Structures are given as C-alpha cells and as structure tokens.
Structure 1
Amino acid sequence: MIQEKFTYNFSNIVILGGGISGMGAALLAADRGYKVFLSNRDELSDAFAKALQTHNIPYETGAHTLEKILAASLIVKSPGIPDTAEIIQKATKAGIPVISEIEFAAEHSNETIVAVTGSNGKTTVTSLLGHLFTQAGMDHTMGGNIGKSFAQQVTESPAEVRLLEVSSFQLDGINNFKPKVAVLLNVTPDHLDRYDYKFENYLASKMRIAMNQDQDDYLVYNADDEAIGQALKTTPIRSTLVPFSMTKELEYGASLINNTIKIAIDQTPFTMPLEQLSLKGQHNTANAMAAATTAKLLKIRKETIRQSMQSFQGVEHRLEQVLKINKVQYINDSKATNVNATFYALDSMEQPTVWIVGGVDKGNDYSQLYHLVNKHVKAIVCLGVDNSKIVEAFGSCVEQMVETNSMEDAVRVAYKLANAGDTVLLSPACASFDLFDNYEDRGRQFKKAVRGL
C-alpha cells in the first residue's frame, strides 16, 4: 500500500534547538518568507546569534516559552531533543506536527537525494561518495549529520544531487523524506538510551530511510548484517534492493571474490582488487563496496570510481594516525562513539595497545570486546566522569588500568604506560558529552595533548 504524502502548514514555524540543524532550518524558513521563531534552552553561540539577528529571525535562549511554541503550525526539532521531552509531548498532544530538519529541507528540495545511514561507517562512506562525486564532476552538496545541514544547503544553492549522512534521530522525524538511493551499512546496538533500551526500536528507526521509496529508487544494504536481513523480512520495501556482501557471491549486487570487489548490477560489471583501495581494514572494504555500488547506480564511470577509491584519504577522527613519539604510534579514533566502532579499531591493532576509553555510556554491552582486549590491549586508561562500568567490564582483562578525567591526564598516563613499538589508541566506545563538546572536540584535544608531549 502506497503511503499518502503528508502535507504541512508552513504559516508559523517554531524551531526547537539552536545548533547546526536548527540554524539551517531557521534560515531556510526565513528565506522562504515564513513566520519563524527559534527557541533554544541553552545560550547560542555568538556566530549563530549574529546570523539570526542579521536575518531578523526572532529567538529566545535559556528557556522554552510554552505559549509561543504551542502557537506553531509546525515544529522543527533538533535531533538532540528526544521525543520524550516534556515540550515535545505537549506539542504532540496539541496536535502540532513535530519533524526533523531533513524532513523540512526535503519539502523544499526537488533534487536527487542520496542518503547514507548505519551505526558505523556512515561518515566514511558519505565522505568517500563526496570524493567520488567531485572526481566525476557531479553537481552536488554534502552534509546532513556532518558538515552543513541539509536545510542550509537548500538555502544556499541549487544542486543536482544532495548527498546526506543521516542519523536515526533525524529519521525518527520524517514523514515524506525520500532518497533516490538509500544506503544502509549496518545496524548494531547504539543510542539505546533513546530507544527504551530496545534494539528492535533502534533497528526500526534505521529502516525508516527506505519507507517512502518506490520502484524507481534503490536501497543499497549490507547482506551480511543479520539485523538488516531480519528487518527486510518484516518491513515492506518497494525500492530495488541492492545487496553487498563480503561473505557470499551475489548474482546481483556487490561481492568480495578472491580479494577483489565485484559489482554486478548492469551489463558492465566493475572489479577492483582490495590492494588498490586507499582505505585499509575489513570494515573499510565494506564501506568501499557500499560507496562503489552507489556510484555505479548513479552511472559514474568505472575508471572514475577506481581512481577515487585509490585516492581517498579517509576521515578525521576515524583511526587517524596522529604522531609517532619514541617509536609509539598515537591513533585518534574519537569518532568511535559506540562499542561496534571500537570493535573495528581494536581488531585492526597489530601492536600491543594502550587503550583510552570512556565517556557517556549509551547502554553499552562491552562483552563483545573481551577477546580483542585480551589479545591486543596491555593497559587501559579510562577517560570519563564516571568510569565504573568500564572498570567493572575490563578490570580483570588487563594488569594496568588508570582512571583520568581530562584529556591531558589521559595522554600523559598513556605516554608513561607505552613502550617502544606500542600503540596508544583513543577509541572511546562512548559519547563525549561528559567532558567535551562533541567527538570532534575530544579528537582535537587528543591531538593537541599528543603534540604537547
């Protein structure tokens, strides 16, 4: 059954949250001539406050004025505000539609949307696709959950293709959002604190990326991911399914055969030996397969795909080699905000590792890391306000474990624990908000502390 398109009343828009997505939505609403008001619980950054003043957009900080918010015809909320927040509950009860910024932006865009989601790898795949599109001379913008918000992109300039990284929080607030190509990389437990600690709720959120697609659209998905496989059996999908697999040869889709990627989706199969990929590691092979398959669907030349895969330099804060000091390699994997991402990082370690871990626990199950910690980790440096769960999980796995609550201390302790030939790995497996603004701030503080040794 085809879902009817949701129609919105844009006469009086309230934006909840004054971060990157909220600012983008406010600027787009003002650009379209709508009445708009932004409400932010905390203080706004100076740059954002100035932007609102420049565009004559009224706003408030420090609190949410209920009367103004409940007078809205439509509320666009920040992904960071949960549906359980009192203000959202009251708005919903009052019958006011509450949507995410990507939904609002999509209502004002007729361009082709390529949307990438997954628990891990989505920034790498989005960035790799951005590199591919640039090399192919494709008129595109890139952003969403990284970089510029979708709404800001729509405000600034037209483009043939909108390449977006999208999170589950953003997908929770869509009704009509419809990508031409949706990419679903993997679904492993993450953000369970936002989903009643139920993995099936989080999985359902990720599957929403394809809910409005039709037979002219594509869902590129990981056929090796059991959770996605189960969800596809029970979720009605109308788009063309395009699988990729590292474990089985597929007649249609992307496969890994004899250390060579093979993509068979049309009359001209694409092949590329793994040794030619600039990105190394098993997880990056899957990322490359997803990106190359998407590029092939968009009719990008095979030679362009091949050259792009060879020249892509990777993403900041994702297994980023920082410095080698006294024959110790320091690696910044601050973007590993969940257990599965840290699993990939630890699995790729080849030397004895001093592991810096910790932050805001999101309902993590650390048991899947035990064998990797036993195999690769010689010492653990905890970095967080509350390290009790990590101490409890790994206390018996290593001989040395030290608790710290600042990046400088963590790096200094790691420096003392590491010997020549070792690796110091920041791969927190947790969110950053206890001690840092975000994972980027955490990664940059790590690099600064390392350079200060």
Structure 2
Amino acid sequence: MKRLVILGAGESGVGTALLAKAKGYNVFVSDKGKIKEKYKEVLIHNEIEWEEEQHTEVKILNANLVMKSPGIPDKVALIQKLISNNIPVISEIEFASKYTNATIVGITGSNGKTTTASLTHHILKQELNVGLAGNIGDSFAKQILEEDYKNYVLEISSFQLDGIVDFKPNIAVLTNITPDHLDRYDYKFENYINSKFRIALNQTKEDYLIYDADDEVITNWLKQNTIQSTLLPFSLKKTFENGAYLDKENIKITIDNIEIIMPTKNLALEGKHNIKNAMAASTVSHLLKIRKQTIRESLENFHGVEHRLEQVLKINKVQYINDSKATNVNATYYALESMDAPTVWIVGGVDKGNDYTELFPFINEKVKAIICLGVDNEKLMENFSNMVDVIVETQFMSEAVKIAYKVAEAGDNVLLSPACASFDLFENYEDRGRQFKNAVRNL
C-alpha cells in the first residue's frame, strides 16, 4: 500500500487526504500549527491519521509521496530532507489531476486570477458542467471525489505550480506577471517568472496558452523560451489574427477564423484591467464553444469577487471601498488608477520586498491622506511621508477606519488597498477585508 503524507491540514490538504484514501493510499496528515475544528472533524470522521502542532519525522520520512500545502516554502529543513531522500514532494493540483479526465482551464498570474477564474466559471456554468477550484473555493481533490465535474476552472498560484510534475491544463491563462512573493524566490524576479510559466510546461500544440500581450515580462519570456502550446494573446493596444483585442468599444476575439465581438460598454466590472480579465474569460469560453449571447450576458451580470474593489457603504457622501485582496503593489496600482475622487488610502502589512515607485504618480494626483496599518510601517513612512500632508500609523483596523472617517470629506473615497500580505495583524486577506467592512458598518 503506497503511503501518502500530507503536510498542512487546510482546504487542499484535507481534500487530498479524502481523495487519496478513496484511491487506496495509506494516508497521514501532519500540520505544524493547530488544525481548524472543521477540518479535524472531517479527518476523524473519515478515520484518517493526523497530528497537529508538530511534524514527527519518522512518520513522514517513510512516505512514498508527499503532498505539501502551498504555504510551506521549499527551503524548510523537512522539505529539503524529503528531497534528498528522493521522496517526491508535489502539490494538490498535481496529485488530484491524475484522477480526472475533465477538461481543465488553469489560470495564473500575479493579479486578476481570482476575478478571471470566477468570471470564466460564471460564463461556462451557464452551458457546461463545471467546477471552480485551486486557490479558491472547495479543494480540487475533494471536488474530483465528490462531484466529478466534466470541466474545471482552476485558479493556480505560483506555489502550487512549483509542485507540479505532469500536470497540464488544456487551456492555460496567464493574466500578467509583476514582482510578487519574491521572499519565496530568493528575491530573484526571474525565478518567480519561470514558476508562473510552469503552467505551460507540459502543454502540447493541442493545448492553448492565453496571455496578456501588453505585459513585457510575458512577451520577453516567450521570445527567449520555446513552448509547445498554441498561443492566443489578448491586448488593449495591439491587433491579432488569432486572439483578442480592443477595437474602439468592442472586444474582438478570433480563433481559427471564427470571430466574435463583445461590447465593453455594459461590462459589470469597471477599469482597464477588468477589460483584460473579460478578454481572457471570453477567449476561454469561445474555445469551449459557449454561445456568444451567453458570454455577453454573463459579462454584463457578473459582479466581481469579495475583497476586490468591493464598494462597501457610502457614509456622509464618502465611499468606502474594500480591496483587501490587493496583496501586492501591482494590484494596488489598479485600485488607485481606478479612483476618480480624492482618496484616503489604508495601506500596509507584511512587505514582500515591495517597490512602491510605480504608485507615486497616483499618490501625488489622487491620495490626500495615508493610513499605515501594519506591525512595521517604517518603509511606508520613508516612501510616502513627504508626498501627503496626513500620514498616520495604527495597528488596529477599527482605529484606521475611525481616522479615515475624520479625515475624509464629502465626495472622497476611503480605500483599503494594502499592497502587502496580511499575516502580521490578520489571519488572511479575507479576515482583513471583513474587519474593514465591520468597522465601516459600525461608524
């Protein structure tokens, strides 16, 4: 009986444990932290052996295969030990994909992947049997076990791609690549870029790679490296024989001489970056033969994902906006770009090696006050203190929102767009976003 050890008992770990047990593996789940009650109950109910607050090496180093949570870096000693013992260490995506023959759409990128994955799923589900998994919702492994969809849309992070060997999506989408998570890639941007392109690693010419052709990082990599995939670019600036581009107010998508046209004026999501997300999702849908009318209607009635430029409330003519999902500078760039009123900006958290210079023009033009919300705000203060009249520090969301309320005047925006990870003061970006919304509602 093959022994599978799972490191990390979160959504992906527990989902993998269930699928592996059903497929006849001897399964052991080990978590260095405390396991959440809801996951513990599932493990106990399914009689799967587990431990928490420790990694017992003798029970781990005898594995045939190890599935690790994407949150565990490769450089930790235990992972290095497994690798030197020639024990394969893979991600949930790699493990689970071996047990499905579904058509897989894999979506990655530094920003826009959740919105693009949710939008793609929203369109496809009108006409196809389709699941949404990966970095979002219920785990991929669990859905294969319980739902067995004919199609999957997977939002895939670079950490999940680092743990693939044979996995290949039939359709891959690369939304963009900007510096992010560099703390996990030895502070080398090229390592992170290569990691993102692993999504196309095993693709053949029967498979498709849909990508942003306005992104120089992507286009330069494609010039210097060969991949087998059939390429379908999208762009706001260029035109293509095969791919998607903007023609005045319309998105034009051509695949194998079949053209469809989508007007952009009624898109539910605002902002240039959302036109790109719509292009990517529509290209996938066109490939999978979804009717043009269905795509158009779906684009017009899709209202985005929680914690992504989410309008919370208007109080005394001040609009409060929750963009907690902006965990890197580029995401905050899109948020500030889309502000059309003086903005009180709440920023900060765990800095992943951020360079804030690309934000400077927007700060000069649109930001009237900055509230730094983090354990260590020194870098933010250095960057921004001479750019705005009001800059304050706090370590409490409720206080940050109260300060914003005092500073903002009728017609202003209050924007939570942290540009950083959330782990210093919050459980995760969702927790940060919910605390913001609660604090706004309690004003």
Q: TM-score, normalised by structure 2?
A: 0.99
Q: How does 1:254-333 map to 2 (within 5 A)?
A: 254-333=244-323
Shift in Å, 1:134: 1.7
Gaps of 5+ in 1: 1-9
Instruction: Report SS of the residue matched to 1:276.
Output: coil
Q: How does 1:441-452 map to 2 (within 5 A)?
A: 441-452=431-442
Q: Deviations over 1:271-327 (max 9, x none)?
A: 122102111110000100011011101111111111111111111100000000011
Q: Deviations over 1:313-366 (max 9, x none)?
A: 111100000000011000000000000000000000011000000000011000
Match of 1:130 in 2: 121
**Alignment match of 1:388 (pick from 372, 375, 378):** 378
Match of 1:81 in 2: 72
Match of 1:51 in 2: 42
Aligned mates of 2:147, 2:283 — CA distance in 1: 27
Shift in Å, 1:268: 3.0
Instruction: Report SS of the residue matched to 1:50.
Output: helix
Instruction: Report SS of the residue matched to 1:349.
Output: coil
Shift in Å, 1:266: 3.1
Comparing 11-20 and 146-155, the one that deviates more: 146-155
**Alignment match of 1:63 (pick from 34, 54, 63):** 54
Match of 1:172 in 2: 162
Aligned mates of 1:271, 1:280 — CA distance in 2: 19
Name the amino acid aligned to 1:113. Answer: I
Aligned mates of 2:421, 2:5 — CA distance in 1: 28
Instruction: Report SS of the residue matched to 2:74.
Output: coil
Match of 1:229 in 2: 219
Q: How does 1:29-40 map to 2 (within 5 A)?
A: 29-40=20-31
1:366 aligns with 2:356: yes
Aligned mates of 2:163, 2:363 — CA distance in 1: 38
Aligned mates of 1:279, 1:48 — CA distance in 2: 35
Name the amino acid aligned to 1:97. Answer: P
1:20 aligns with 2:15: no
1:420 aligns with 2:410: yes
**Alignment match of 1:346 (pick from 329, 336, 339):** 336
Instruction: Report SS of the residue matched to 2:258.
Output: coil
Instruction: Report SS of the residue matched to 2:422.
Output: coil
Shift in Å, 1:267: 3.5
Shift in Å, 1:195: 0.4
Match of 1:433 in 2: 423
RMSD (Å) for aligned C-alpha atoms: 0.9
Match of 2:101 in 1: 110
Name the amino acid aligned to 1:322. Answer: V
Aligned mates of 1:420, 1:118 — CA distance in 2: 37
Name the amino acid aligned to 2:368. Answer: K
Q: How does 1:108-257 map to 2 (within 5 A)?
A: 108-136=99-127, 138-257=128-247
Name the amino acid aligned to 2:198. Answer: R
Aligned mates of 2:382, 2:145 — CA distance in 1: 49
Gaps of 5+ in 2: none
1:91 aligns with 2:82: yes
Aligned mates of 1:163, 1:252 — CA distance in 2: 22
Aligned mates of 1:218, 1:249 — CA distance in 2: 18
Aligned mates of 2:143, 2:291 — CA distance in 1: 26
Aligned mates of 1:259, 1:302 — CA distance in 2: 17
Q: TM-score, normalised by structure 1?
A: 0.97
- What's the % identity of the aligned pairs? 60
Paired residues in the alignment total 443
